[in-house]
């Protein structure tokens, strides 16, 4: 029986075929050739001074359906940046998450900090697409890729000047992310095959991320206490979506999460 992830990937490939027909790879490469260089997401997430926040523009999820309307993703991203976020994550998968490349374009135009394209990347076309739309960081999920594809897609991401956020959910996937050469490695508390969330997955696996890599805790953040738990397990960054988009004050919420992880945001940054 197909898992939730299998179903999502099927839809992703169908939608990718449509976009590829509308904009062939050769034309996409021409767009990339004239695009400004990518921002250094690795440097942004390596700066000392406490945990970093990857704040997400997320309209919906497969498990909970619609989360937030987000009429203006650019405005939300600007609020996140003003609250001290180091990276803005933009979900671009449309069927289950309600995202789009238009959201990525809007966010890229609104902020000067690095932007992550968060999607189910299974094909080199999507990497070129990410760069053409201004992404600096691309999610690569070990659960959705065999090892050869994971390595090859990371190589293309880096060839285009971006960085990869390699994502794992268990020990085997984490070992594969390390073997692939991941310098930014996320541990997801959500099992995308079942949609179950277990924060213990993050606290168990984060200590296994090599010292030289940036360990990112993904999913399961419900507030400052979650951030403290993840930081205690070794998180150098946290990726947060639902807890931010379902609130009414994203700037303040971002600051509170960062404060819980030991990073203080200057008042001037949020004026």
Total structural domains within the chain: 1
72-128: per-residue pLDDT in tens? 999 999 999 999 999 999 999 999 999 999 999 999 999 999 999 999 999 999 999
> Range with the lowest mean pLDDT among 88-97, 172-181, 205-214, 258-267?
258-267
Contacts of residue 112, defined as CB under 8 A and 6 or more positions apart, other chains included, come to: 39, 81
- pLDDT computed for residue 61 by the predictor: 85
Domain presence at residue 267: no
DSSP assignment of the chain: ---HHHHHHHHHHHHHHHHHHHS-HHHHHHHHHTSPPPP-HHHHHH-SSS-EEEEEE--EETTTEE----S-HHHHHHHHHHTT-SEEEEE---TTT---HHHHHHHHHH-SS-EEEES---SHHHHHHHHHTT-SEEEEEGGGS-HHHHHHHHHHHHHTT-EEEEEESSHHHHHHHHHTT-SEEEEESB-TTT--B-HHHHHHHGGGS-TTSEEEEES---SHHHHHHHHHTT-SEEEE-HHHHTSS-HHHHHHHHHHHTT-PPPGGGG-
Domain presence at residue 266: no
Domain presence at residue 102: yes
Domain presence at residue 270: no
Q: Where does the pLDDT of residue 268 fall: very low under 50, low under 70, confident under 90, or very high at 90 and above?
A: very low
Domain presence at residue 271: no
- pLDDT computed for residue 188 by the predictor: 97
| 7, 8, 145, 148, 236 from 1: Cα distances, Å | 10, 14, 19, 25, 37
- pLDDT computed for residue 224 by the predictor: 96
184-236: per-residue pLDDT in tens? 999 999 998 888 999 999 999 999 999 999 999 999 999 999 999 999 999 99
Domain presence at residue 160: yes
Domain presence at residue 118: yes
Domain that holds residue 185: 4-261
Domain presence at residue 268: no
User: How many Å apart are CA 128 and CA 118, to the nearest integer?
Assistant: 14
CATH of the domain at 87: 3.20.20.70
Whole-model pTM: value is: 0.96
Task: Compute the mean pLDDT over every residue in the chain, rounded to the nearest whole number.
Answer: 95
């Amino acid at each position: 029986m197909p898992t939730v992830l299998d179903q999502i990937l099927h839809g992703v490939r169908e939608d990718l075929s449509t976009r590829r027909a509308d904009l062939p790879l050769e034309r996409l490469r021409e767009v990339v050739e004239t695009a400004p260089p990518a921002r250094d997401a690795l440097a942004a997430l390596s700066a000392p001074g406490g945990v970093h926040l990857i704040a997400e523009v997320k309209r919906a999820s497969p498990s909970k359906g619609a989360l937030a309307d987000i009429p203006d993703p650019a405005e939300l991203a600007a609020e996140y940046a003003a609250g001290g976020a180091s990276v803005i994550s933009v979900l671009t998968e449309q069927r289950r998450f309600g995202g789009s490349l238009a959201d990525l374009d809007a966010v890229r135009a609104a902020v000067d900090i690095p932007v992550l394209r968060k999607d189910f990347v299974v094909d080199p076309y999507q990497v070129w697409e990410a760069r053409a739309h201004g992404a600096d960081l691309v999610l690569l999920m070990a659960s959705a890729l065999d090892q050869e594809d994971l390595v090859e897609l990371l190589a293309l991401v880096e060839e285009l000047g971006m960085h990869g956020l390699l994502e794992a959910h268990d020990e085997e996937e984490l070992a594969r992310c390390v073997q692939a050469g991941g310098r930014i490695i996320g541990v997801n508390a959500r099992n995308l095959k079942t949609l179950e969330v277990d924060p213990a997955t993050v606290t168990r696996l984060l200590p296994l991320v090599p010292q030289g890599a940036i360990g990112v805790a993904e999913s399961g953040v419900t507030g400052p206490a979650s951030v403290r738990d993840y930081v205690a397990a070794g998180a150098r960054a946290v990726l947060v979506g639902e807890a931010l988009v379902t609130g009414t004050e994203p700037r303040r919420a971002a600051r509170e999460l960062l404060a819980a992880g030991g990073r203080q945001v200057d008042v001037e940054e949020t004026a």
